[in-house]
Structure 1
Amino acid sequence: MQTARLPLISSAILAAGLLAGCASSPMPTWKGAADPGYAPVRPAQVEPAVTAVPAVAISTAPPTRAALVDAARAEWDFFGNQQIDMRHEPFSAPRLGLLEDEGEAVQRVAEYWHAVGRNYTGADCQQAWSAAFISWLMVSSNVAPQDFAPSETHFNYLSFLKQRESLPSPQFVLRPAASEPVAPGDLLCAPRGNNTATTLDEIQPGLAGHCDMVVEVHADEGWAGVIGGNVFNSVSESLIPVDAQGRALPISQRPWLAVVKNLLP
């Protein structure tokens, strides 16, 4: 396991939107706006059916906030605890982990894709799998499909949740990131690429974006930890700045838009 600190990651390089490579790259690189994997796509449920996709192993226990956090942490452990410090620019990577096309990670990423009905693996490096990762967390933790609609695109399931919260007993509700403190088990979401949404009303299917799961909040110290998939080609914990109330502070690569409040027990 690599433990040496990476060089600082230039903001100019991030802004250039370089394509992310596989593990053969000299260091993890950001999947930027130019990556076709982040272009708007149709919701997964309207794509032609994919055959021979293995079923996702689903917990038999009722879904809980703690179970989702534990699932995210377990995947982070599996990938070697890669950590990206976003509290200052340029970003740095204090700890490296397993990349998407290395060893056991190849099939682990395939498991995430199975949650959205796809037959990709971690070797399909140009296929952005961050939404598949979040969907896998929900599906494997036994969150009912009527409460969360798995999708390979974050803004597809955000659109579903926005509509679902007007119906009885929603398990997740959307709140503006600028005013809503985050807590472990919440999702924190931002637009990406050509997505210019700035309000919850502008959320619609097919827009490019990224969501992470909040796993720890230290408002008194000014930071929180969020775990996401496909962050520098791995399951990574990103350290992000928060204010004294625990509200996520926007940064250049993460202009936070929505907090998906987790109402599970």
Structure 2
Amino acid sequence: MISATSFRPALCGALAAALLLAGCASSPLPQWRDSDNAGYAPVTPAIPVTNTGVPAVAISTAAPTRAALVAAARAEWDFFGNQQIDMRHEPFSAPRLGLLEDEGEAVQRVAEYWHAVGKNLTGADCQQAWSAAFISWLMVSSNVAPQDFAPSETHFNYLSFLKDRQSRPSPQFVLRPPESEPLTPGDLICAPRGNNNATSIDEIRPGLAGHCDMVVEVHAEDGWAGVIGGNVFNSVSESLIPVDDQGRAQPIAQRPWLVVVKNLLP
């Protein structure tokens, strides 16, 4: 577990300067993709048809668990060099930098995430937002059944699927408002972005722009939680977000939290 006192301070200016040396991953930070990006084209939430031209995702043979999902997220964070973004204050800072999407082995690693949603793309395709592909890869590779989670390249597509799925028997994920739901490792925490003006779970629909991270640690007594997401400052990053003394996420300018996806897996 990472101690809140172990963060070494870093200025956003230094972070931006470092990324200016990183080829196509050098966009100004924070890198929020425009809502008219092809990755956010409206589609009906559904289980994607397998594209035989895309390599299969390696799927665990074990039953899916919350612990397995958290472990998978942490393993990818380790692979990318444990980049951390401290979102508990403005401007954001980066206590630790990591591997970027278009650097070295990261190029093919991002391709594996894209494979989970049937796309032949890599980390070199820097203009394609891959954060939803990352979450989908976590679910697919951890053996979450397609009837419980529909992989998609757009977060609000799978959120729409989960919203519909929770009204049917035995949902494994349910959507709850962040202001009333304490975070637990294995949950997803999601926010709109771009021109997405949704303010309630009822307004979730396919095609809206947004972002989700997986909760991996909660320290309510210290006022923060750690969430891991893909394509966060061009890497798999752990974001440090503020929570109240009950562990409920507190909204910030770049993350106006809309929904907590509670993980009901064992």
TM-score by length of 2: 0.89
Residues 1:40 and 2:40 are matched in the alignment: yes
What is the SS of the residue equivalent to 2:12?
Answer: coil
Partner of residue 22, structure 2: 23
- 2-structure distance, mates of 1:21, 1:136: 28
Partner of residue 7, structure 1: 11
Long gaps (5+) in structure 1: 14-19
Asked if 2 retains the 8 angstrom alpha-carbon contact of 1:86 and 1:239, the reply is: yes
- Runs of 4+ residues deviating >6 angstroms: 46-49
- 1-structure distance, mates of 2:49, 2:31: 27
Asked if 1 retains the 8 angstrom alpha-carbon contact of 2:48 and 2:151, the reply is: no
Partner of residue 258, structure 2: 257
- TM-fit CA distance, 1:51: 4.3
> What are the within-5 Å matches in structure 2 for residues 193-232 of structure 1?
193-232=194-233
> What are the within-5 Å matches in structure 2 for residues 31-180 of structure 1?
31-32=31-32, 34=34, 36-37=36-37, 40-43=40-43, 50-180=51-181
The 1:69/1:48 distance shift into structure 2, 3 A limit, reads closer
- 2-structure distance, mates of 1:216, 1:77: 15
**Stretch moving more, 20-29 or 187-196:** 20-29
- 1-structure distance, mates of 2:38, 2:230: 14
Asked if 2 retains the 8 angstrom alpha-carbon contact of 1:241 and 1:249, the reply is: yes
- TM-fit CA distance, 1:5: 5.3
Kindly provide the CA deviation profile for residues 190-223 of structure 1, in whole angstroms up to 9, marking residues without a partner as x. 0000000000000000000000000000000000
What is the SS of the residue equivalent to 1:73?
Answer: helix
- 1-structure distance, mates of 2:164, 2:26: 43
Identity %: 76
TM-score by length of 1: 0.90
Asked if 2 retains the 8 angstrom alpha-carbon contact of 1:101 and 1:125, the reply is: yes
- 1-structure distance, mates of 2:26, 2:169: 50
The 1:147/1:9 distance shift into structure 2, 3 A limit, reads farther
**Stretch moving more, 31-40 or 108-117:** 31-40
The 1:132/1:39 distance shift into structure 2, 3 A limit, reads closer
What amino acid is aligned across from residue 30 of structure 2 in structure 1?
W
**Stretch moving more, 24-33 or 98-107:** 24-33
CA RMSD of aligned residues (A): 2.5
What is the SS of the residue equivalent to 1:137?
Answer: helix
Asked if 1 retains the 8 angstrom alpha-carbon contact of 2:33 and 2:129, the reply is: no
Asked if 1 retains the 8 angstrom alpha-carbon contact of 2:84 and 2:237, the reply is: yes
Asked if 1 retains the 8 angstrom alpha-carbon contact of 2:214 and 2:227, the reply is: yes
- 2-structure distance, mates of 1:192, 1:210: 7
The 1:32/1:176 distance shift into structure 2, 3 A limit, reads same
